[in-house]
Each structure stands twice: as C-alpha cells, then as structure tokens.
C-alpha cells in the first residue's frame, strides 16, 4: 500500500509573527499563499531551492482567485520573502524560490528562546533562517555574464527584480542551454524574458521525454 504524499512545513515560521504580518501588511490570504509555496519547496527540495508552480494551481490549492494570488505573489516579492518569475498566463508555470535568510518579525533565535519546549535540541533546524553561503553579484561571474547577455538581447532597462529573475534562471537551468536560448531570441529579435523562460521549460520537457523514452527502450531491450 502506497502512503499518501505528505508536505512538510517548518513550524517555527508559524511562531515568528509572519502570519499576522502578512495578513496586516499584504492582505487576508497572503499567509495561505506563502505557506503553500513553502510546502511545495519542502516537498521538492531537501534544501531551499527553485521550484515551479502555476498561479492557477496555487489558486486551486488556497481557494483564492488567480488574480488575487498573482497580486499577493507580487507583494511577497516586494517584501523580499520570495524571488519569482511570473508568466503572463495563469496556467503557465512560474519559477519560485523562498528567500534565505527569510525576513521574519521574530528571528529564529528569538523563536527558539520563546518556545524552547517546542524546539529542543535535535528539532531546531529552522529552515530558511540561515544563508549558508553568502554570495554577491560581483562574486558570481556566471550571473554577471547572464546580465550582460540580457542587456545585449532584451534591452538596457534592468532592475533588482530582473536581476533576481536572471539569478533564478541561472540556478534552475543549464547555463549553456540558457545561452543558446538567448541566442535564438536575438536571432528572432524577441525582446521578452517570458519567451526565453517558456522556451527553456519546453526544451527541458522535451529532453526529459527523450530520456524517458530511451530508458524505456533499454528496459524493453534488456528483457
């Protein structure tokens, strides 16, 4: 019998003051959206990392209208709780990453002191509390190269949100494939990052399908 798939969630976030802060400073339902993003990250990544989900799926999971969910996601990004790339269509998958260290009203250390009985030694991992590797844009030549490619392909207007989106792309996809897709965009005179991300996702799905078919073929041949 296969057990039902269960999502984990870092309990300390519920005691950090974040639920009340999001309800007050963003809107009702913001905590539900953020919590679901965290659950998806925990489900797919052993350590905080990039993941994909569509606004339409989030809407279904939290019981809010897609337009409301998208508005909340934009505000969560402005508050530096998440980094994300949002496509125009609700049904298309977006790229997401929970920011680390996560800015919470109460720090992980204060939560541990205040609720010591809930977080004894061995149960105090506090996912999202600490950034194990501190990296600046200047120390990341691949990101800087990608920024230069963006400026040469899309245009000279760039801001911190676009840089975050480029960082997500760099972390999520093979940099060689990213460069190839940017080259295709230049050749076709396409000036939108959305086309590039959509193309990257489609190319990855094609490669995954080819790998699956080759594996199935080898399996059949080995019988």
Domains along the chain with CATH numbers: 11-114 (1.10.10.10), 137-221 (no CATH)
pTM: 0.80
Which residues share a beta bridge with 53?
Answer: 94
Dump pLDDT digits (tens) for 97-149: 999 999 999 999 999 999 999 888 777 789 999 864 434 445 689 999 999 99
Residues 70, 185, 151, CA angle at the centre, nearest 5°? 75
Contact status, residue 51 vs residue 38, Cβ threshold 8 Å: no
Question: What mean pLDDT comes out for the span 157-165?
Answer: 88
State CA 222 to chain mean position distance. 39
Helix (H) or strand (E) holding 26: none
Q: Give the separation between CA 97 and CA 164, rounded to whole angstroms.
A: 10
pLDDT score, position 206? 85
Distances in whole angstroms, Cα of residue 4 to Cα of each of 1, 38, 129: 9, 19, 29
Phi and psi torsions of 52, nearest 5°: -120, 140
Q: Is 19 exposed, middle or buried, given 0-12, 13-18 or 19+ CB atoms closer than 10 A?
A: middle
Q: Of the given ranges (13-22, 117-126, 183-192), which has the lowest mean pLDDT? A: 117-126
């Amino acid at each position: 019998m296969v057990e039902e798939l269960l999502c984990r969630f870092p309990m300390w976030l519920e005691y950090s003051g974040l639920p009340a802060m999001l309800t007050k400073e963003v809107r009702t339902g913001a905590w539900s959206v953020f919590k679901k993003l965290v659950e998806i990250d925990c489900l797919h990544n052993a350590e905080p990392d990039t993941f994909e989900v569509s606004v339409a799926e989030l809407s279904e999971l939290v019981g809010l209208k897609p337009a409301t969910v998208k508005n909340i996601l934009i505000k969560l990004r402005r508050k530096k709780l998440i980094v994300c790339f949002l496509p125009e269509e609700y049904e298309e998958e977006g790229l997401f990453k929970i920011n680390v260290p996560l800015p919470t009203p109460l720090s992980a250390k204060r939560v541990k002191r205040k609720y010591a009985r809930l977080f004894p030694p061995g149960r105090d991992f506090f996912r999202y509390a600490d950034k194990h590797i501190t990296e600046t844009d200047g120390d990341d030549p691949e990101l800087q190269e990608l920024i230069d490619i963006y400026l040469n392909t899309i245009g000279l207007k760039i801001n911190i949100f676009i840089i975050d989106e480029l960082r997500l792309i760099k972390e999520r996809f093979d940099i060689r494939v990213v460069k190839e897709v940017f080259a295709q965009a230049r050749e076709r005179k396409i000036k939108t990052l959305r086309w590039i991300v959509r193309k990257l996702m489609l190319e990855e799905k094609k490669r995954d399908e080819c790998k699956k078919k080759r594996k199935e073929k080898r399996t059949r041949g080995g019988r």
